[in-house]
Amino acid sequence: MARPRKEIDFDQLVNLARIHCTAEECAAFFGVSSDTIDRRLKEAGEGGCAEFYKKHSAEGKASLRRAQWVTAQGGNPTMLIWLGKQWLGQKDTRWQNDRDDEVPQSLTINIVGREAEGPVRVTRAAEPGLLETESVAIEERG
């Protein structure tokens, strides 16, 4: 006697494809093999897993894009920045100096009118566009 045929809810399969579940994940959801899903899709005239996934995952991408757009239109700064980078080619830029000789290689600080009570925090350019902070001890000079 053959095993009972497991039914696959195609509406649910569409929803899984829209959120980009793989064939293996869909198969696990329904408790069947990915070959079974592929075969059932072909029986239903859907052309198999690859065509089905391509069609319905694109619908999911459109929904996600729409949600991102709504979020950006609502003024979400993170989404505005991200979409600007993705769609408009915008990018973060850091300060760059065309002339390396303008970048200080050493720094001398004269502290006037302060008791030397501990280390002083010094910020210097380690390389163009990159700040480095270090602690240095103050030497007492007589």
Asked, for residue 95, whether it belongs to a domain, the answer is no
46-56 in b/e form (b: 16+ CB < 10 A) is beebeebbeeb
**Claim to verify: residue 46 and residue 69 sit in the same structural domain:** yes
Range of the domain at 33: 10-88
Rounded Cα–Cα distance for residues 17 and 50 (Å)? 10
Asked, for residue 5, whether it belongs to a domain, the answer is no
72, 80 contact by CB (below 8 A) = yes
Q: What is the mean pLDDT of the chain?
A: 79
**Claim to verify: residue 75 and residue 16 sit in the same structural domain:** yes
Q: How many domains does the chain have?
A: 2
**Claim to verify: residue 74 and residue 130 sit in the same structural domain:** no
CA nearest to 67, candidates 82, 48, 45, 52: 82
Residue 39 tokens read as: 């075969």
Question: Would the pTM count as exceeding 0.75?
Answer: no
pLDDT digits (tens, 9 = 90+) for 64-94: 999 999 999 999 999 999 898 998 888 887 7
Asked, for residue 4, whether it belongs to a domain, the answer is no
Residue 135: HSE in the Cβ half-sphere, 13 Å Cα cutoff = 3
Quick one: pLDDT band at residue 3, thresholds 50, 70, 90?
confident
pLDDT digits (tens, 9 = 90+) for 19-29: 999 999 999 99
Asked, for residue 14, whether it belongs to a domain, the answer is yes
Rounded Cα–Cα distance for residues 108 and 93 (Å)? 29
**Claim to verify: residue 116 and residue 76 sit in the same structural domain:** no
**Claim to verify: residue 24 and residue 77 sit in the same structural domain:** yes
CA R_g for the chain: 31
Rounded Cα–Cα distance for residues 118 and 92 (Å)? 37
pLDDT at 4: 86
